[in-house]
Amino acid sequence: MTWIDTHCHLDQPVLSKDIQKVIKLSKECNIEGIVVPSTCPSNIDEVIKICNRFDMCFFALGFHPFFAQNISEDDLKKLSFLLIEHDAIAVGEIGLDKFSGESQLNIQDEVFQAQLDLAEKHDLPIIVHARGMIDRATQLIRKRKIKGGIIHAFNGSFQQADQLIKLGFKLGFGGVISYERAKHIRSLAQNLPLESIVLETDSPDMKPAWVENECPNEPAQLEKISQVLCHLRGVDARELGGILKQNTIEALPKLSKLYT
């Protein structure tokens, strides 16, 4: 069975310094696609460059809430241009983070809304980071005609999940489901409709339980993460893989390029 990592920061130096090896190991571990979102104006070029080098990599372009306070009007205009010029698969990583010390929430809110407007304008799905801010993110999404996408590293309530699923979103789960103590996230991964779930590593962060401290997380780990989900759901890899592939393409339709 093959898997798509729907969220990975391959441009982070700990991965990019040995990118050939990271990609080779991913392929050996049956990863057939990797989605790489940008996070700020200064990493867009690198993200595009990496994805253009490897057929299995696809980029989303956007500004992460951590960097919201440094985003200018010009940055947003440039983003609008680049999304079309480079045929990005989504607008992302965008969102709101209640626990980000650096970027004030009102500024995050403005930058998130500006990027939601771009997603609506260009008819693109979104990849959303919404830590502690799911209700506000949902409210802002609901006001616009957004094509769906992925709520990455989902850690909300079942009720919040339900609202987002109704708005056409898939919910991203990663290595955290491998920790026994992550009871809530494991319960979400176990009980949400399987049709609403996609997998991600969020590497180099969010290490699964078995990755040694000194090692970075990487897309190759997705295969083992998928085994954890199989176990939680009581399904085999073939069944899970088929459903997740379909979910992922529903969330990010341009990934269907992988199969043409």
- Cα 217–chain centre separation: 15
Q: What angle do the packed helices 222-233 and 183-191 form, to 10 degrees?
A: 70
- Nearer residue to Zn ion within complex by CB, 10 or 161: 10
Residue 170 forms beta bridges with which residues? Answer: 150
Minimal distance, residue 41 CB to Zn ion, in Å: 16
Reference 36, options 55, 19, 20, 50; nearest CA is 50
Count how many Cα atoms sit within 13 Å of the Cα of residue 242 in the half-sphere of its side chain: 4
Return the number of the residue (5 or 93) whose C-beta is nearest Zn ion: 93
Residue nearest to Zn ion (CB): 93
The residue count for binding Zn ion (CB under 5 A) is 1
Residue 7 C-beta: closest distance to Zn ion, Å: 6
Query: Least distance to Zn ion from the beta carbon of 70, Å?
Result: 17
Nearer to Zn ion, 201 or 241 (CB): 201
Strands in the chain per DSSP E: 3-5, 31-37, 57-60, 91-97, 126-131, 149-152, 169-173, 197-199
Q: Which is nearer to Zn ion, 3 or 66 (CB)?
A: 66
Structure token digits, residue 211: 């990755």
CB of 137 to Zn ion, least distance (A): 15
Alpha carbons 117 and 114: distance in angstroms, whole number: 5
Closest CB to Zn ion among 93 and 223? 93
The C-alpha atoms of residue 138 and residue 134 are separated, in whole angstroms, by 6
The sheet carrying 3-5 orders its strands as 3-5, 31-37, 57-60
Contact string 39-78 vs Zn ion (x = CB under 5 A)? ----------------------------------------
Angstrom CA distances, 221 to 51, 204, 224, 226, stand at 19, 11, 6, 9
Nearer to Zn ion, 94 or 116 (CB): 94
Q: CB 242 → Zn ion: shortest distance, Å? A: 26
Q: Which CB sits closer to Zn ion, 11 or 93?
A: 93
Q: Per-residue x/- marks for Zn ion, 77-106, CB under 5 A?
A: ----------------x-------------
Q: What angle do CA 224, 7, 10 make, to 5 degrees?
A: 95
CB of 216 to Zn ion, least distance (A): 14
User: Least separation, in Å, of the C-beta of 127 and Zn ion?
Assistant: 8
Which residues bind to Zn ion, rule: CB under 5 A? 93
